Chains A and B, each alone.
Chain A
Amino acid sequence: MTALTTTVRPSQEATPRPVPWRRMIWVTWRQHRATFISVPAVLAAAAILLVVFGLRAHHDYAALVNCPLDPGKQSGTCSRLMANFNSGVWPLANVCSILMQLAPVLLGAFAGAPLLARELESGTFRYAWTQGFGRERQAIAKLVLLGLTLAVLAWAFSELFSWFFQPFLWVEQMNQMSTEAVFDTRGLVFPVFTLVSFVIGAFLGMLFRRSIPAMAATLGVYLVIRLLAWGVRGQYPLTLVTRNAWQFTAYGTPGQPGFPWILNSWVTGPGGKPASPSIVSQVQLSLGGGGNQPVSVPKGYTIWTRFFPASHFWPMQLIEAGWLLVLAVAIGAAAVWLVHRRAV
């Protein structure tokens, strides 16, 4: 009997070489070509409409950009231009903004819910999941490929939308941080919201094993996550506190670039004790009726204001995109785990 004394290299001879990942590109394309074609087509059509309408909005905006926002100080021409902008251009832009906020969940539900559930519904999972590639790797590859495609498309579209929406920020007094319709539709947050709703759809599709109920549930879960994001946004550890309440009047109106997101303000008396209600209402009166004149504060009292400066826009985007991305990865992992556990 001959004993082999050389060390065996198990991966080379014993098991067949695993199917390379790049093979999954073709499979994903072939199975989901309807999504890969229809999503860019729909977004391209919407982009053309946005460009056409956006050019008109920018043109109208350029005519009134030097007008004062306060109706009492507007000249005849200005008030005509403003009225035309508010009643002729803004309603359509408002609809666009509503659709833009629905876009992540619609994209995610239509692309995500059938991703794994369709194989179960039609029984093709018996064939697909017994391929040499391995069912978990297949699920991961499909989630990553479709998810990345959707996120990139969503990012490109949100860049266009941000350009389109720029004129409305100042006129409609929307702040890029405190107004959800603006913060949610720009930068990193919009594509990550799209990614989250996509993996939620895939996970719920795998959980329910049926596409349509999973789509409906995706809408609900997405709404909850969105409300959660709105709730915690003011709590991000990026706030500053100032005792100089005058600085904010220099920025003008909430829609102007550089305007901070003011969270709250309070008044303290001598020794740091909270001020009495009568002092607070006196200070509020001078702030509320104010404008340009300095706020008259009784001696020894301080107005404190907690706010996010405009320069913290990108750090806030990073924090929000960060935790949403972690959530997306966790939900995606849960979906793959369900694929792993399901008996063929």
Chain B
Amino acid sequence: MTVHTLSARPGRQDPETGAQPRPVPWRQMLWVTWRQHRGLLVTTAVVLVGAVAGMLAEGLNLHHAYAGVAGCQPLQSAGCLQPESTSNSDWHAANGFRVAVLTLPVLIALFSGPPVIARELENTTYRYAWTQGIGRVRWTAAKLAILAAALTIPAVVISMEFTWFFNPFMAQRNLTSVTPAVFFTRDLAYPAWTLTAFCAGAFLGTLLRRTLPAMAATLAAFALLAAVTWWGLRPHYPVHTYWPMQLFEGAWLVFLCAALAAGTIHLVRHHAA
């Protein structure tokens, strides 16, 4: 009997015995995630490209009109009154885009978060998916990470474009960067909220095991969290200027999202396949 006295290095394949197969590399999950969620990813991309193009066209239009109003001298002359009277309809269009930008994170998260796990459970495809070589924990973690990244990057783009788009109306409507409805759409807060809504959706989908009730629950949870943050938490932040507030809100939302993702993985791990 031969005794191996070499210390075993787990994770490496032993060429003689072949005891441990090499784990499936993470990047394989990129293709799996695309294949399983291509409907969502394509639809989101189309909607976002449409939104970005629409906002760009309307924004250029509004900025042009605004430059006309801002540079108009004297203010009461006949030439200046015309742009003044159209500024109301400009605001109208801008407000429509604002409503769309405010609701976009929760709508996208609603359709992307709950189905990640719940659809596998509903269709019982989890029996197949979770018994693959990569392991169910890595399977779930990879899908969550890839989808989260795929949603966060467009959120950053939309937020930056909207900040530029909305700039002319800030002074006109007495808004500042810490006005709740403006603060939400900017820099770190907007992608962080998108991410948190997605994580909440994934967690609730795993918890309730059905997509549709999980979507309704995500909507309610998001509304509740936004309301509590808006009226309960934000006035009590330890910091009161724009960038520290953005950092603080972004940080606690990312922590919340990480906790929800960990909860999702925990539920997946302990679910009897």
Contacts and interface: CB of A to CB of B under 8 A. Distances in A.
Tell whether A pairs with B.
yes
B111 A215 contact: yes
A282 B78 contact: yes
B172 interface: no
Nearest to B95: A181
B181 interface: yes
Interface in B218-256: 219-220, 223, 231
B39 A289 contact: no
Given A38-B216, A288-B85, A212 B78 contact: no
Contacts of B213: 34
Interface in A190-244: 211-213, 215-216, 219
A215 B77 CA distance: 51
Contacts of B220: 42
Contacts of A281: 78-79, 81-82
A51 interface: no
Nearest to B231: A92
Interface in B68-126: 76-79, 81-82, 84-85, 99, 102-103, 107, 111, 115
A281 B216 CA distance: 54
Interface in B185-240: 211-213, 215-216, 219-220, 223, 231
Contacts of B107: 219
A91 interface: yes
Given A98-B102, A106-B219, A213-B39, A114 B212 contact: yes
Nearest to A277: B78
Contacts of A216: 43, 111
User: Per DSSP, are chain A's interface residues mostly helix, strand or loop, or mixed?
Assistant: helix
B133 interface: no
Interface residues of A, number: 26
Contacts of A114: 212
Interface in A1-59: 34, 38, 42
A91 B180 contact: yes
A183 interface: no
A91 B180 CA distance: 9
A268 B215 CA distance: 58
A220 B107 CA distance: 12
Contacts of A91: 179-181
10 closest A-B pairs by CB:
A281-B78, A288-B81, A285-B78, A98-B99, A216-B111, A284-B81, A289-B76, A114-B212, A110-B216, A212-B211
Given A91-B179, A284-B82, A285-B76, 6 more contacts: A34-B213, A91-B180, A98-B103, A212-B115, A215-B215, A288-B81
Interface of A: 34, 38, 42, 91-92, 94-95, 98-99, 101-102, 106, 110, 114, 211-213, 215-216, 219, 281-282, 284-285, 288-289
29 contacts: A42-B220, A91-B179, A91-B180, A91-B181, A92-B231, A94-B181, A95-B181, A98-B103, A99-B223, A101-B99, A102-B103, A110-B216, A211-B211, A212-B115, A212-B211, A212-B212, A212-B215, A215-B111, A216-B111, A281-B78, A281-B81, A281-B82, A282-B78, A284-B81, A284-B85, A285-B76, A285-B77, A288-B85, A289-B76
